[in-house]
Every structure is written in C-alpha cells, then in structure tokens.
Amino acid sequence: MASLIAKRSSSSLLGGLRAAAARTYASIAVGSDLVSAAPGVSLQKARSWDEGVSSKFATTPIKDIFKGKKVVIFGLPGAYTGVCSQQHVPSYNNNIDKFKAKGIDSVICVAVNDPYTMNGWAENLKAKDAIEFYGDFDASFHKSLDLTKDLSAALLGLRSERWSAYVEDGKVKALNVEEAPSDLKVSGAEVILGQI
C-alpha cells in the first residue's frame, strides 16, 4: 500500500513538474473574458487598516472592476520588491496622462499582498492618485487566470507572474506575460500603450 501511494505521489509530482515547465503563458488569452475566468472572485482595494474596519473588510467583485470599462491592469510579484518598485509601477505612473488620452478608465496594479501593504506601498511610491492598487491576498484571482508563480526561493511563496493586459468590458484585448519575474520586457506601460 505504501509503495502504491509513493508511486502515485511520484508520478503526479513528475506530471505536475512537466506541466509547470511546459507552461510559459497564462491559460487566459486575448479574447478571454476575465469575469468568466474568475467567477465569484473579488479583490481588495488598497486601504488603511481603519478604512478596512469601517468598510467591514469589503471586497470588490471582478465584474465591478471591468464591466463597461476600458482598463489596463498589470500584475507583479509583490509590493516593495526591486523591479516592481523601481521600474514596473513607475512606468505606469509616469505615463498616466497617455493612458487617459487613450480613453482608459482605470489603470490597476494587483499583487498577491494584503490591501494594507498595497496601500502603504502605493503611498510610498506616490502613485495612489494615478493608479488603483488592489490586493489579491489569497491569490484567488491569479490562480483563476493561471498567472501564479512559486517564488519560495526568494522567500515570497506563491505570487503573481509579472504581466499586463488591456481589457474592454471584461474582454482581454492584449495580454503580456514576462518569462521571468525579474524581467520587464513586455509588461511595462510603453508596450501596453502601443497595444491600445
């Protein structure tokens, strides 16, 4: 019995590793509906602890973020990390007027963090007035989109891939996923601006 369990565990582990190694991009694609891909999922708008308490820890359903709107969303591994803080968020913050000129209703940053950390980080970057920050505290949004990455080697655990998308009324019009979390080749503001 123990050898049968070990054999099953071994083969399922190898299968999972093969699948993970083979996957380079998310299961969502251009044309996908984010609301359908993440049914029942909500994000947590960046806020202080006191704001969380007064809102009774309210969350924002995905459909409320995307339905009837033109949205640019970008995901990143985590608040206060190198490329995220020094390059990724600034690329959007510095180009916010160009997004507005193209008719974008919202530019959104999402990471597998709690909304309180996201709030402090947004304030630290002086980006909270230009970009909407959301926490995906349990990674449910990113799991739904197959956009997670295990960054335990960097002591971060399960996190988001580095990615960006242009979304109209919930439909993905452009999607960019970096090959490595330290890359910023395809998910920065300049690339997505050219895709709108």
Residue 84 annotated to the active site: yes
pLDDT in tens, 5-49: 333 333 333 333 333 333 344 577 787 887 887 778 889 999 999
> Which residue out of 26, 46, 79, 84 is catalytically annotated?
84
pLDDT in tens, 54-102: 888 888 998 999 999 999 999 988 878 777 777 789 999 999 999 999 9
pTM of full prediction above 0.85: no
Write the DSSP string, 142-191.
Answer: HHHTT-EEE-GGGT--EEEPPEEEEEETTEEEEEEE-SSTT--SSSSHHH
∠ CA(133), CA(158), CA(55), 5° rounding?
35
Among 100-104, 141-145, 173-177, 188-192, which stretch is predicted with the lowest mean pLDDT? 141-145
